[in-house]
Structure 1
Amino acid sequence: MTRRITARLAVGTAAAAGLVLPLGAVPVLAEAPAGTQIQLLGITDFHGRLDSTGANVASVVERERAAHADIGTALLSTGDNIGASTYESSSQQDTPTLEFLNAIGLDATATGNHEYDRGIDDLTGRVSDTADFPHLAANVYTEGTQDVAPGLESHTMLDVEGVRVAVIGVVTEDTESLVSPDGIAGLDFGDPTAAVDRVAGELEELPEAERPDLTVVQAHLGPSDTSSLDAAVASNSEFGTLATEGHESVDAMFFGHSHTDFAFEAPVPGTERTRPLLQSGYYGEAVGQLVLTSTGDGTWTVDTQEILPTEDVTHDSPVVDEAQRIIDEAVAKSKEIGSEVAGSITEDITRAFTEEGREDRGAESTLGNLVADALAQGTGYSQLAPADFGITNPGGLRTDLKCDDQFGSEERCEVTVGELNQVLPFANDHGVVTLTGADVIGLFEEQWQPEGASRPFLHLGISDELDVVYDSEAPRGERVLSVLVDGEEIDPNAEYRVATLSFLAAGGDNFTSFANGTFEQSGLTDFELWERYFNENSPIGPDTDERQADAALDIVHNGTAEVGISYSDDDSGEYVIESTNTEAVEGPFLITLSLPEGVTADFGERAGEQPNTALVTELPAGAEIPFSLSGGEPGEHTFTARITADPASEWWDDNPMPLVHSAEAAYRVTEDDAPGDDDNGSDDGNEDDGNDDGGESPRPSDPAPGPGGDDDRGDGGNGGDDGRGGQDDDGRDDRADGSLPRTGSEIAGALAAALVLLIAGSAAVVAVRRKTAQ
């Protein structure tokens, strides 16, 4: 039996204040003698997963209690019990989940960041009033103080069959960026390790007979890499510090938040001992188990340290029966509330996932972009002026929309109100923030999270009006190369209306640039406009257009390949596009020629659907793509060649050429080649090539700097008076008549040189991940 020693909190507070209470004011328990055993069971990040795993969790807990009936058992949680819940719980403000946790005998919980979703007043009021267990938050303070916020507790003391157990709870400092700031106004989230050390030190200062026999930390923070203890420590600084430097009196630590599972032993600082560290996954997929034995001198040895899976586990127990009754009632009520059909989808629309099947918030998703589309359109459902575009955060997407998922009796691919709510369960307010273009660029730079964040990159969902190109290998703050709004480069000084949700509008997830604008609320919640969007636009399909692209993957930008064009000097009109890549690169790639009037191109079997285009399925090693030009008026002409990945193809975070690469090349028509008209329409035999050096023809043979080189490209990167490479104006090619070099050796690589110049400056970089047909 577990008993909470409520008087112990008063003693701890009084001792810290220098007061002395008579020993008779609290129960005095003997120190746990050698050989005393205790079982600790832990869950984390349950997120109201009642229907799918609730009974399994209850069964595992009851099974292990029964298997260790001769020793005491405490059931603990590291938080996120509620919030981001499935509809059977969220439709009733997570009350069924709190009742479920009461039924299975949860003894104490740390507060997770999601416990603050509805604000501190809801947590310390309705939630705490419903729960039979304390919410612990030793590092959550009244703003500007080191006083634990009213209604929360730094720790609790449990009597577990005669063993005095101190449980200290902390939550990640990131909480202030993970929930709506309005709901946590007046709070500070401090350093978790400092809070643990403070409370553990106070407990050690108590009279010997009143000190805990066992001290346990419940920490809602965790690592992203769990392949080893060293990797886990390196992957998250909060975890690493607490796990390796936390107070020596702490005997065991349970972690959460990062949705991983592990069981490590870590050295205790200042001693030769180790202590167990556990994290039991998420969504009720596992229960962490520790069985400890007292040495009689205040330390404990580990007999069992396991992560117990819950899938398909059943156990016959009155506690399990009561838990199932609560679940059944919650499900029945939610079915009644959410079974209405709101619309339909044509195929699955999902979040992004890793190859291992875990959610990947650092990658683009069809669901994230669809939500952003709905946010932008949603301004039309209110009194607000239209938005220019919409932006949402990946952490706000809590499940997928799948044709085969059934909420009630709906037809395949129909979407119910309940299913829509499961995607956006937070009840965030919808509205518009007016930002400058510079602020919008700042938002995309802030996708790279602050150092030490549990997720280093958060990929924003963006609406169809936006195209973004970034370079993940560039220095922090310089990664965004291009932002297009309706095909036009964003103006840093202009104002843009950004549709979003209150969480982001208040700077959530460290997107602090939102704080530079004013949030106009539409009066709608995320779920309300989401439902209406489906009412008005169904059937809805996933847009497989990649709206953000990483230039670091671009084979020209990163130096994997140079693409050039060569031709002979016999005026044959025969050209070859060449690539220097040493390994084949999968496409498809689209080549487009912008030709002078009357000139046509022939790509043979590679010809694309549109005139003067070619579609290349892949660039083989040392690719050669021939084409020929014919027609046109006599004289020297220039034409533009462009190459990019085919915009009509599906590309998701692995596009080998997300940028448009283009440059000018020469084409000469002699009098003999002309179609009967001797007037070439030019005073000097040269078309206007855009150079600012007196009309001189472009000279593709001029040397070009590599990425990051000279940004002065007034001549379009094709010659001009810039002195690059040490050549004199009058010494290049010795062509007094200004004609272009015609040999393969002179012209080969010319296109590549110009492409490198284009990429060296963001002004010339454009996104092309737009479908050719919408």
Structure 2
Amino acid sequence: MRGRRRPGCHAGHPAGLHRRQRGRLGLHLIGAGRSATIDILNAIGLDVTAAGNHEFDRGATDLSARLLGAFDAPVLAANVTGNDALRAEGDGNGVWTTQIDGVTVGFIGLVTDSLPSLVAESALQGVEVDDFIRTANVRAAALKDGDPDNGEADIVVVLAHEDAAVYATQFNGSVNAVFGGHTHDAHAATVTGKDGNRIAVVQSGQYGKLLGNITLSFDPATGAVGVVQAANIDLAASDCTTDAYGVQAIVDQAARESRAAGARVLTNLDTGFYRGTNNGSDPGANRSTESTAANLIADSYRSWLTTDVRPEGDHYVGLMNPGGVRADYLLGDLTEGEAYTVQPFGNEMGYATYSGAQLKAVLAQQWQPDTSRPVLMLGVSANVQVYLDQDAADELEEYWSRISTGAQTAADLESAIDAARNRIIRSVYIDGVELDDDAEVVVASNSFMLSGGDGFTALREGDVSSTGVLDRTVTAEYLQAGGATSADLAKRQIGVDMDVDTAGGSATVRFTGLSFTAASEQAAAGAVAEVTATVALADGGTQHLTSAAIDTTITPELPETGASTLKVVLPADVATTTCPADSRGSAGVSAAAACAVVSFTLVAHDGSTRSIDLQALVPVAAVTGRADAGVPEASEQVIIAPDDDPLAGFEVPDFLGSFSMMSVVVVSAAGLACYRVIRRGLRVRRHAVPSEM
């Protein structure tokens, strides 16, 4: 790109502007501040790059003092201010220009706006991160405004450590090409920018598997720029085997060091533990879904709390951020090196105590409509079961769509987002009981998470105790001790939505998120295959009402893989009780209104079952003869407390199977009726978000 032709294979690529694109720079630091990754990039002649969030893992000072000097190429971050060394890279202010065959090409490097949520707060002391779209458009316009004092370019290329497919259409008419990254998704296309301009957009996945290739045309007479090609080249299919840059020697040395350090076997796994996928062949790309790999790590954190720390508190919980899980745990022998690959960042373990309400706020922050991913689904330990309001989730996903396409801003939708987030957590069960807002929950996680990383700012409200123990050490010791050898295929966070027929006697219940995304996990014997609904009868028996299969089609970038919808119709001889009054006081229920309790069971491929804690309270025809008598008008979630429970003493047999997680209707050991019901009022559920928002 400095006007020279490099040695080696060119695979018949068309002549034009070529850039060796990294989807992401994952620094695996070796020795005295050097990295095999950087050594390779320098060897192949990297011309320019954009800073990513991991360059800030050890702080902006470390970036400027160590990493910038290690690169032979400028590292650009136009939207980061407050660091003089970074600001001076290239031509300054995040821009670098070069001449290629007499054409001036300007590069603008930017890091994701989410940087403050992706690194520890202390890492960005003295540094501010500006809006990357606005910054890119300002810099691009300056490069084509005819003023030589602020630099000029015939062609402008944006290097964005952010998902190009989501944001490329928001760049202005001065931008001609975009190389994206950060989300690890691969795509290549030509799109229309905000000023009607055509922009070549490439994002080349992860780990150097693809080569992003953009070819542009330029007419010196008119200054017109055209897109010839935007493509990703599969390097695994390339016949180019010439090592023109001495890369193999660097790789071999790094491999020798890694093998020596990581060959020891920790344990033998009977199954794999996998990250989320969008299409079945891109493991780790879907961070918006629950994964067995993240859950496993969360389990190890809780085990560490219960065995090594044992602080005071009502419950112990482990949480794991999906972005911290960088590889799958594969079937068979697991070595220290492979375990390191899964958790490469070397964060410190810590813990803090939160109220039940604060933990719910943390879980609500999994929905992040103002970032490049709509959801970041946490791994939670096995003693936690979270029920989500799918209606609220639908709203938040719609807000993400509006913000990511530029239709509205996060500020426009702030109050609507807050309202939906306040509803998104329907209920949480820990250690078999529903979580009280005042309960004391001790949360164990890595230092990155506990400092509010990845947007989980509610975790900053805890007084964190640091331990000096590495997170991967905790997980490795858990695995070595046999803490887990087979993946738990029970989803720990599922969505629920329910609509009741206004005439009474029927309801439609929708479940989401019942399946993991890895194909092998979906097909495993213990994976859920169907949902059944049952109801108690007046004669003391129970009746199966309906069953529905689980649709395991993957929902990309969403946590909803594994959906099932049941239409429940109550029989004539159903057992009834007086519907409870509305717990929020907005809509009373007549004493004449009768309700039936419908319970749900998940059935696995191997026939094993487990119950869902939530039960549906379905109105039936009122005793006055009016079908709508006493029916609540508002869409509400109702929690029945033991003291005013209308079904106390009304025993229903435990028909939910030996693997019932929590709620038979009567908890005999406590002598109390203690259970959860849901009711989604009588309005038709609206998928669309109100237009006035």
Take 1:380 and 1:92, find their aligned partners in 2: how far apart are those partners? Answer: 37
Take 1:497 and 1:172, find their aligned partners in 2: how far apart are those partners? Answer: 32
Q: 1:316 to 1:120 in 2, by over 3 A?
A: same
- 2:431 is equivalent to residue 486 of structure 1: yes
CA displacement at 1:339 relative to structure 2: 0.8
- 2:226 is equivalent to residue 301 of structure 1: yes
Q: Of 105, 113, 118, which residue of structure 1 is paired with 2:45? A: 105
Report what 1:705 is aligned to: 632
Q: Of 20, 25, 38, which residue of structure 2 is paired with 1:81? A: 25
Deviations 1:332-360 (A, max 9, x none): 22111111111222211112333544432
Take 1:603 and 1:177, find their aligned partners in 2: how far apart are those partners? Answer: 50
CA displacement at 1:380 relative to structure 2: 5.4
Q: Of 150, 155, 167, which residue of structure 2 is paired with 1:214? A: 155
Take 2:597 and 2:509, find their aligned partners in 1: how far apart are those partners? Answer: 21
Q: Of 168, 185, 193, which residue of structure 1 is paired with 2:133? A: 193
2:275 counterpart letter in structure 1: R
Take 2:439 and 2:495, find their aligned partners in 1: how far apart are those partners? Answer: 25
Report what 2:60 is aligned to: 120
- 2:348 is equivalent to residue 429 of structure 1: yes
* Aligned pairs (5 A) from 1:104-503: 104-142=44-82, 149=87, 153=92, 154-203=94-143, 204=145, 206-207=147-148, 211-223=152-164, 232=165, 236=166, 238-242=167-171, 245=172, 248-267=173-192, 274-297=198-221, 298-319=223-244, 322-358=246-282, 359-379=285-305, 385=311, 388-403=316-331, 413-449=332-368, 451-474=369-392, 475-503=420-448
Take 2:305 and 2:542, find their aligned partners in 1: how far apart are those partners? Answer: 48
1:589 counterpart letter in structure 2: T
8 Å CA contact 2:328, 2:342 repeated in 1: yes
Take 1:664 and 1:622, find their aligned partners in 2: how far apart are those partners? Answer: 11
CA displacement at 1:373 relative to structure 2: 1.0
Take 1:72 and 1:356, find their aligned partners in 2: how far apart are those partners? Answer: 34
Q: Secondary structure at the match of 1:550?
A: strand
8 Å CA contact 1:80, 1:115 repeated in 2: no
CA displacement at 1:521 relative to structure 2: 0.9
CA displacement at 1:134 relative to structure 2: 1.2
Q: 1:470 to 1:560 in 2, by over 3 A?
A: farther
Q: 1:658 to 1:323 in 2, by over 3 A?
A: farther
Q: CA RMSD in A?
A: 4.6
- Which has the higher mean CA deviation after the structures are superposed, 368-377 or 300-309? 300-309
CA displacement at 1:622 relative to structure 2: 6.2
* Aligned pairs (5 A) from 1:63-82: 63-64=9-10, 74-77=18-21, 80-82=24-26
- 2:2 is equivalent to residue 2 of structure 1: yes
- 2:514 is equivalent to residue 589 of structure 1: no
2:327 counterpart letter in structure 1: T
CA displacement at 1:662 relative to structure 2: 6.3
Q: 1:316 to 1:379 in 2, by over 3 A?
A: same
Report what 1:568 is aligned to: none
Q: Secondary structure at the match of 1:176?
A: helix
Q: Secondary structure at the match of 1:541?
A: coil
Aligned residues: 561
Deviations 1:580-627 (A, max 9, x none): 7799x97353748699xxx975879x9xxxxxxxxxx99898687999
Q: Secondary structure at the match of 2:10?
A: helix
Deviations 1:748-770 (A, max 9, x none): xxx9xxxx9942499xxxxxxxx
Report what 1:536 is aligned to: 481
CA displacement at 1:73 relative to structure 2: 5.6
Q: Which runs of 5+ in 1 are unaligned?
A: 4-37, 40-57, 224-231, 404-412, 565-578, 607-616, 629-639, 666-695, 720-750, 763-774
Report what 1:671 is aligned to: none
1:431 counterpart letter in structure 2: G
Q: 1:364 to 1:484 in 2, by over 3 A?
A: same
Q: Secondary structure at the match of 1:448?
A: coil
Deviations 1:532-559 (A, max 9, x none): 111222552211222222112xxxx234
CA displacement at 1:563 relative to structure 2: 9.6
8 Å CA contact 1:221, 1:239 repeated in 2: no
**TM-score, with length taken from structure 1:** 0.63
Deviations 1:171-190 (A, max 9, x none): 11011112222222221110
CA displacement at 1:266 relative to structure 2: 4.0
Take 2:637 and 2:206, find their aligned partners in 1: how far apart are those partners? Answer: 51
CA displacement at 1:252 relative to structure 2: 2.4
CA displacement at 1:99 relative to structure 2: 0.9
1:660 counterpart letter in structure 2: Q
1:241 counterpart letter in structure 2: Q
Q: 1:644 to 1:163 in 2, by over 3 A?
A: same
Report what 2:408 is aligned to: none
Report what 1:526 is aligned to: 471
8 Å CA contact 2:110, 2:161 repeated in 1: yes
Deviations 1:427-482 (A, max 9, x none): 11210022222111111111111x33211122211112222111121333212111
Q: 1:704 to 1:382 in 2, by over 3 A?
A: same
1:495 counterpart letter in structure 2: E
* Aligned pairs (5 A) from 1:590-739: 591=534, 601=541, 643-646=598-601, 649=604, 659-661=614-616, 703-705=630-632, 708=635, 716=645
Take 2:639 and 2:265, find their aligned partners in 1: how far apart are those partners? Answer: 58
Q: Which runs of 5+ in 2 are unaligned?
A: 393-419, 513-528, 547-563, 576-594, 649-664, 666-674, 682-693
CA displacement at 1:663 relative to structure 2: 8.6
Take 1:710 and 1:81, find their aligned partners in 2: how far apart are those partners? Answer: 45
1:103 counterpart letter in structure 2: A
8 Å CA contact 1:398, 1:424 repeated in 2: yes
Q: 1:444 to 1:280 in 2, by over 3 A?
A: same
1:110 counterpart letter in structure 2: A
Q: Secondary structure at the match of 1:215?
A: strand
Give the greater-gyration-radius structure (CA).
Answer: 1
Report what 2:685 is aligned to: none
Take 2:30 and 2:502, find their aligned partners in 1: how far apart are those partners? Answer: 52
Q: 1:64 to 1:593 in 2, by over 3 A?
A: same
2:25 counterpart letter in structure 1: N
Q: 1:563 to 1:389 in 2, by over 3 A?
A: farther
Q: 1:445 to 1:757 in 2, by over 3 A?
A: closer
Take 1:580 and 1:67, find their aligned partners in 2: how far apart are those partners? Answer: 59
Q: 1:265 to 1:542 in 2, by over 3 A?
A: closer
Q: Secondary structure at the match of 1:418?
A: helix
Q: Secondary structure at the match of 2:437?
A: coil
8 Å CA contact 1:551, 1:658 repeated in 2: no
CA displacement at 1:137 relative to structure 2: 0.3
Q: 1:464 to 1:700 in 2, by over 3 A?
A: farther
Take 1:395 and 1:582, find their aligned partners in 2: how far apart are those partners? Answer: 32
